[in-house]
Each structure stands twice: as C-alpha cells, then as structure tokens.
Amino acid sequence: MRAAVVTTFGGPESVRVVETELPEPGARQVRIKVAAAALNPVDAGVRAGAFGGAGKQLGFGWDVAGTVDATGVATAWQVGDEVIALDHGMIKPLGTHAEYVVVDTDAVAKAPEGVDAAHATTLPLNALTAVQALDLLELTPGQSLLVTGAAGAVGGFAVQLAAHRGVLVTGLARADDEEFVRALGAAEFTTDGVPAGSVDAVLDAAILGERALEWVRDGGVFAGVIPQAAPASVRGVRTGAVEVSADGARLAELVRLVEEGVLTLRVAETYALEDAAKAHARLAEGGVRGRLVLVP
C-alpha cells in the first residue's frame, strides 16, 4: 500500500509517498480502508523533528474516515462498517496518511450520517481535544469562558461545545472572523483580549500562554492545548493542559452532535495522497480555515 512518511526531517519537500506492507490487525484492533485523512499542525511538527525519532521512518496523520476492511479478535466492528477514528501518537512508522491503517477498536466510532468522508475526518483529533480541554475546566452553565483561536479547528469546536453546555463564551480571533465565531455560538467577540481577571476560564487554543492567563479571574481555571506546557499557576488560578486521548465512546457522542447540527465540520481543501507534500506546503503558508484533507 502507499503511505506518506518522512525519513529525514525538514520542510514540506521532505514528505515522501512510499510503498509499504499492508498492516494486519491484532486482537482488539481493526484495519480501516482510508477514504480521507486530515492534516494537522502536529504532522508538521513530526515532519520537522519536533518530537524526535531521528533515523526512523515516521508516518503522518491522526484522523481517519473510512471503511472497516479487516478485524482482529474481540472487536464489535464488522467488515464494511463506515467509521472514523483517532490514531494517537507522534512517533509511529505509519499513520492515517495511507491507503490503510490499523487502530485499536476502542478508538473507533461510527461515521456521522449524511457527512462525506472528507468532512468526517476533521472531527476526531480536534473535537476530542476541545471536549477534553473543556472537561479540565469543569465549567457549569452561566460561567464565562474565553476561547483563544476561536476561528481555528480546536477553538471552533470549543466554542460550539461550550455554548451548547450553556457556558457564556467570548471568542478571540482576527477581526474578519467575527461573524463566523459568533455564528458558532460566541456571545461576545474580541480581537485584543478582555480586561484582566474578567472571565472564569480560558481555553487557550491559540497558545498565548501567560498573556491569556491574565484574563482569568482569581481562583479561576486555565486549559492549554500543548501537553506539559501550561503556564504556572498565579492568583489561585488552576492551570493545566489537555493531552488528547483516543476515546471511541466520546467520539461517538461528538458524532451525535454533528448529526444534530451542534458541531460544524470544515474542510479547506482536499489533496490526493501523492500530493501530500503540497498539502504540507499549504499548511506551512498559514491562514487555513478548516482542515486540509488527504484522499488516497
């Protein structure tokens, strides 16, 4: 099968599409024939060597939408099931940017009905990151939350999920994103931030760090999206950062929210698998709204 990999760290030109052996599912695993796989900033980090793995073949891709092609023992999934999944991990020889991928059965959820594969694959990594970050915040209806990077993939899901829970959301993004961010459910919008200590919580999808921490009230809570990179606690503010985990049951809940119209799936552009390097180059240019998606 074909797969996008990197063997020497570098820019988009270091991405290669190679022929490799078809992976076989083990116990409690399924093999998925990939219909679409999203490209995320973490893939650029893998390509550049940010997570290590020098001298190894490293695969790209965490998100997948496709069809179950083979199963190991002890799985409830059947060949032919249309699914989505999160293939967790930075250092792996193959990812979802391939024609087939093997994932743990507990990472899989039924694909949302009425949604094409390109849009469905934008859900797992970014929506799970958003919902697990919100879990860290433990907000109740009526409390206030500032989401930085509110027009981005993680931030956009966070705005929608928080608003759906009755949280009062302020979205921080560029001025020309205001209409979009408000349409996601943000009650307020800002391009510069809010008065110091004026919100109960911040979900820092834009990775502003200590600057965003200043906006949280004394005794409030801050959640970042880079593991082990949250700023130190000040003024009694509880700080932490989400380390996203694969969770098929939680992913199924997010699928239901897609089907109910609560969550919006956004695709910026699609690329053939053999054009993976071009997709990386487009990601590196910045300014992407929605996800770039590879289609084998």
Domains of the chain: 2-122+265-295 (3.90.180.10), 126-241 (3.40.50.720)
Q: Give the pLDDT score at 273.
A: 98
Q: What six digits make up the tokens of 66?
A: 């496709």
Residues 48-73: tens digit of each pLDDT: 999 999 999 999 999 999 999 999 99
Rounded to two decimals, what is the model's pTM? 0.96
Tell me the backbone φ, ψ of residue 295, rounded to 5 degrees: -125, 110
* Dihedral sign of CA atoms 227, 117, 265, 160 in order: negative
Q: Give the pLDDT score at 228.
A: 85
Q: Give the pLDDT score at 229.
A: 87
Residues of the chain with pLDDT under 70: none
Identify the residue whose tokens are 């270091």: 14
Q: Give the pLDDT score at 90.
A: 87
Q: How far is the C-alpha of 68 from the C-alpha of 30, rounded, in Å? A: 7
